[in-house]
Chains A and B, each alone.
Chain A
Amino acid sequence: MSGRVFLVIDLDRCWGCRACEVACKQELGLGVGPRPMRVEETGARVLAGALHRDFVPTLCQHCDRPACLAACPAEAIFREEDGTVQLRAEACTGCGACAAACPFGVVEVGPDPGLAVKCTLCRERRRGGGLPSCAQHCIGRAITLIDEEALEAALGGRGHWRTGRVVYLSDKYSGLGAGLPGPA
């Protein structure tokens, strides 16, 4: 095994319950403020003559070509061996260049201590044999951690989109992410 991982999010299974949001904050010890995981919802909308309402957990995509990493003047952002994009808090100056550069709005600068905050894919938990907290606690079991070698089998030929280490899956929507930049 390469030790490289993907976080696979099956959008057809997301109930929008937000357990992932609180699980994340608890793991990272965050209070009110930045939300490294945040569930966005479409609201009820009419598609093909019927009402639909869908939910998308949004978090750091751990991009293959991370704009935040390129933008950071303090070199506080780096790529880890497992493929994830990580932040060195001790090097962060809180300048906000990463947050401004992120095309998805998922890197934030917290009010206290005024440093950048984003998803770590629960680096510490994974080292202890655990799942990322969002994946463990997900009520719809929409979020799973998959080893790189097992990704193709996990996707099972289903429609998906990714630009990094987070893979979104859906059978309901075809052309997932057609309007978004893809990986290189």
Chain B
Amino acid sequence: MSEQRRQFALRLLGEQLNPAHRHAAVSGGDPEGGPPPAATPRGRSTSRPGERIVRSACYSCNMCCEVLVFVDTATGRVLRVEGDPDSPVTRGLLCTKGLASRDLVDNSGRLRHPLKRAGKRGEGKWERISWDEALDTIAQQLLRHREAYGPQGVAFLQGTIRGWSRVYSRLANAFGAVNHGAAGWAQCLWPRLVDNTVTFGATYTEVPDFENTRCTLVWGTNPAATWPTFASQIMDARQRGAGLIVVDPFLSETAAKADLWLQLRPGTDTALALAMLHVIIREGLYDGDFVGKWTTGFDRLREHVGTYTSEWGEAVTRVPAALIGKAARLYADTKPAAIYRCVSLDMVHDSLQACRAVSLLAAVTGNIGIPGGNVTVSQRGETSQNSHAFIGYDLLPADKIPLRRGFDRFPLLCDKLCPVPTAHMPTLWETIATDDPYPVKAALIFGSNAVVSYSNTPRVEEAMARLEFLAVCDLFMTPTAELADIVLPASSWLERDNLISSFQVCPTTTIAQQKAAEVGEARSDVDICCQLARKLGVGEHFWNDAAELYDELIKPAGMTFAEFKARKRIHAPFVYRLYEKKGFNTPSGKVELYSSLLEQNRCAPLPAYTEPDAGPAAAAKPTPEYPLILTTGWRQSVYRHTENRENPLLREIAPRPGLLIHPDTAGRLGIAAGDPVVVETQTGSAELYAAFTLGIHPDVVQAMPGWWGRANINRVTSWKHFSEGIGSVPMRGLLCRVRKGSEPRGSRADEVTG
């Protein structure tokens, strides 16, 4: 059946390209051409007899799309989730994850009650207990361990923030837990945030103004799979005639629509950006007025990029010099132009410098704070949770902060320049594994599948086995929760109110999320944190419950949370050219091309290129033993991080953990499409399934991250190298080898078969 459909698709398209069309991929196009945008009627979503609609917002990822939840009035069951056509941002769209999210309340695997371990650790025997008993036990254990080992001996770990509140960080700080952190922070977003702080003086991230742009430069992300609303805006811009440049080692869904696709060698992002800066500065394509008036360090930057020619760039990145030049000219000459960068830049070996190098493209072309460029956003009406004040950083005793693991080596992560100062997690795991320099014996983990989501999984497993007490709060019985002494059931976004103010991705709206369902005794993380705070003796720094917190957060907008829920959203359009009134909040008051703050923190003030994994550029050839280059960057629309594999509708679309590999390479290794394969680095191995594509270089393979068990690609990432100043672990440009494997047995990855 499916082969017949595929043949239909292939015969429908044919192979006859229209010579007048600006086609995608490597050919390069004319940004001025293109058809008019398609009509986008919104339609209406109406309830049917016996249904009521709860207007909410999806938190399946960080995009926070407004949704309508259709609920059976008689039974209270969630019937379906749809996009909200009234949303000024999404205009009704919604991605696979949001559309399939009813499963969150239906899935039989959801945690429904607090549990206490009844057998040996990891044996899977549990006893149901009350919330009071669960929280009392956790509080007693954490206090006992703090008494025995000091506050540094208790780790507070969490996952991606999403609907989960920064109240958890506040709880960590109030408790004195200097060793507070997450798998993601140094690996995702924090490098970009710190870059924005030191370069632009911005408190949050830069947002691309797609709706007004004439050129979009997408760097190391595949929004078609991961950022639905942005993808729709990028597509609209493209069809309006805006240029589209995509930097990606793989011909991703987004790259497939690009005018220019820059297929770089994984991990060489800094080199590519430097070579583009070289072209822009040498050819005088920068914005002289902006640079002269609003930046510092331009002469040093000019001198710095002098040797980074496009020919040098080609040798390092493998992107042809002519294409580097073309991309630099298209970006710099088409004003306004917007950059959309994402997690890849946080995951390269020189994360912060890669972020900086890309930021400098926007800075020298003056594409900052203008319509159609990148706009920094920080205030909108509600009180943000993204501040040192909110996370209660002052509650942490100053003399204890230097005890934080990684403090001496990673000042950009562990100290005040960081939005949420945090421990360096690999260093902390090593400490847990060795008691060096002090014992860390208890951990509280909120919303993090730590066994899967941290790099160097084998070492994390060893460390976790040494904990004397572990409590985990999550939606499902993850491999991490399986190791716990106490498990707490958290509510999903469908089961809780929330005040969504994600600057990262819905920069122009604050949205009310409304509870639509109930699952067992699951509670929101905010309520749990507030209750736990009282039991830990720090209740005076917290709220009675989530409702009180949301009232306080929305108060500056002049309403209560109940009133806000009735309104559903506050829409606040971008404010442009704010710097003309306020300057930039850096030490110089200008955009710091040469960063004084980095210099003060013993980091390179200008981004210089260094090689990923092993060897200098001249010897960039992989070694005979590990002849392939690995990236863990394959994202699919149906999954988010380690989540969603238990959702049958999503699993049906992407049933297996995949490794993208060029058929020529696979052929040499005796691997057929769909075969199980083993990926090995010097430090570990993982088992996935071969997926063939011509859209990747023959010596590059790309793995899908986030799968549990033997398929977990973090089994091959290592702690040999950390990026300067911020300590990110490289996940792009690792050296590896691949061989045909046998069908994995007992792998958690295959437990749920769609």
- On A, residues with C-beta under 8 Å from B are 8, 10-13, 15-19, 21-23, 25-27, 31-32, 35, 38, 40-48, 50-56, 58, 99, 103-106, 108, 124-125, 128-131, 133, 135-142, 144-146, 154, 156, 158-159, 161, 168, 170-180
Q: Could you say which of A19, A38, A106, A129 contacts B99, with CB atoms under 8 Å apart? A: A19
A180: B residues at CB distance < 8 A: 8, 11-12
Assuming the A-B contacts A13-B239, A43-B694, are A53 and B256 also in contact, with contact meaning beta carbons closer than 8 angstroms in the complex? Answer: yes
Indicate which residue in A38, A50, A179 contacts B25 across the interface (CB closer than 8 Å).
Answer: A50
Q: Chain B residue with minimal CB distance to A175?
A: B16
B13 engages A15 (CB within 8 Å) = no
8 contacts between A and B (CB under 8 A): A13-B239, A40-B10, A43-B695, A48-B17, A56-B9, A137-B93, A139-B224, A146-B39
For residue B8, which residues in chain A have a CB less than 8 angstroms away from its CB? 40, 56, 58, 103-106, 180
- Do A40 and B45 touch (CB < 8 A)? no
Q: Does B598 contact A (CB under 8 A)?
A: no
Partner of B35, one of A55, A124, A145, A156: A156
Q: Which residues from chain B sit less than 8 Å from chain A, CB to CB?
A: 1-18, 21, 23-27, 35-36, 38-46, 48, 80-83, 85, 92-96, 99-100, 102, 224-225, 228, 231-232, 235-236, 239, 251, 253-254, 256-257, 261, 637-638, 648-653, 692-695, 754
Expressed in whole angstroms, the Cα–Cα distance for A136 and B651 within the complex equals: 23
Q: Is the CB of B96 within 8 A of A21?
A: yes
Q: Which among A51, A54, A104, A137 is the interface contact of B694 at CB below 8 angstroms?
A: A51
Q: A13-B38, A124-B48, A176-B12 are in contact. Are A45 and B694 (CB under 8 A)?
A: yes
**Do the beta carbons of B231 and A140 come within 8 Å of each other?**
yes
Contact partner of B1 (CB less than 8 A), chosen from A15, A31, A108, is: A108
Partner of A18, one of B16, B239, B653: B653
- Total contacts A-B at CB 8 Å: 236
Which single member of B9, B11, B48 contacts A128 (CB below 8 Å)?
Answer: B48
Residue from B2, B11, B43 within 8 A of A136 (CB atoms): B43
Q: Contact check, B39 vs A144: say whether CB atoms are below 8 A apart.
A: yes
A32-B652, A52-B24, A139-B231 known; A176+B13 contact, CB < 8 A: yes
- Distance (whole angstroms) from the CB of A150 to the closest CB of chain B: 8
Is B693 in contact with A44, judged by CB distance below 8 angstroms? yes
Contact between chains at A32 and B253 (CB < 8 Å): no
B39 to chain A minimum Cβ distance, whole angstroms, is 6
Given known contacts A44-B693, A130-B43, A50 and B26 CB-to-CB distance under 8 angstroms: yes
- B38 lies within 8 A of A173 (CB): no
- With a cutoff of 8 Å between Cβ atoms, the chain A residues found around residue B11 in the complex are 177, 179-180
Select from chain B the residue with minimum beta-carbon distance to A105: B4
CA distance A13 to B257 in the complex (A): 8
Chain B hits for A144, CB < 8 A? 38-41
Contact check, B5 vs A58: say whether CB atoms are below 8 A apart.
yes
> Is the CB–CB distance between A19 and B694 below 8 Å?
no
When the two chains form their complex, are residues A105 and B93 in contact, meaning their CB atoms are under 8 A apart? no
B263 to chain A, nearest CB (A): 9
- Distance of A109 from chain B, by nearest CB (Å): 10
